[in-house]
Chain A
Amino acid sequence: MLNILIADDEAPARNRLRDLLTDIGNNHIVAEAKNGKEALQRADELQPDIVLLDIRMPEMDGIEAAQHLQKLSKPPAIIFTTAFDNYAIQAFDMSAVDYLLKPIRLERLEKALQKARALQPQQLAALTPLSPRKTHLTITERGRILLVPVDDIIYLRAELKYVTVRTAEREYLLEESLTHLEQEFDSLFIRLHRNCLVAHAYILGYEKRSSDEHGEKQWVALLKHVPETITVSRRQQHLIRVT
Chain B
Amino acid sequence: MKKSWHISRRRMLKGLGATIALPFLEAMVPPGMGMSAYASQKSPIRTAFMFMPNGVHPDRWTPGQWGSEFELSPILQPLKNVKQDVLILNELMNHFSIFEGADGHYAKTANFLTCLPIHKTTGENLNSGGISIDQLIAQHVGNQTLFPSLEYGLDRITSGIDVNVGFTRLYGSSISWKSPNQPNTKEIDPQLAFNRLFRNYVPKPGGIINQENPWKESVLDLVREDASSLQKQLGRSDQDKLEEYLESIRSIEKRIGNEEQRKDFERHLTPDIRKEIMRLNQRIDEYSEMNLGVDITEKVHQMMDIMALALWSDATRVTTFMFGNSVSNRNFSFLPGVDGSHHQLSHHQSNERNLDQYARINTWHIEQYAYFLEKLKSIKEGDKTLLDNSMVMLGSGLRDGDRHSPRNLPIVLAGKGGGALKTGKNLKFAEETPLANLYLTMLKVMDIPAECFADSTQELCDLV
A, B assembled together? no
- Footprint of A on B, CB under 8 Å? none
- Footprint of B on A, CB under 8 Å? none
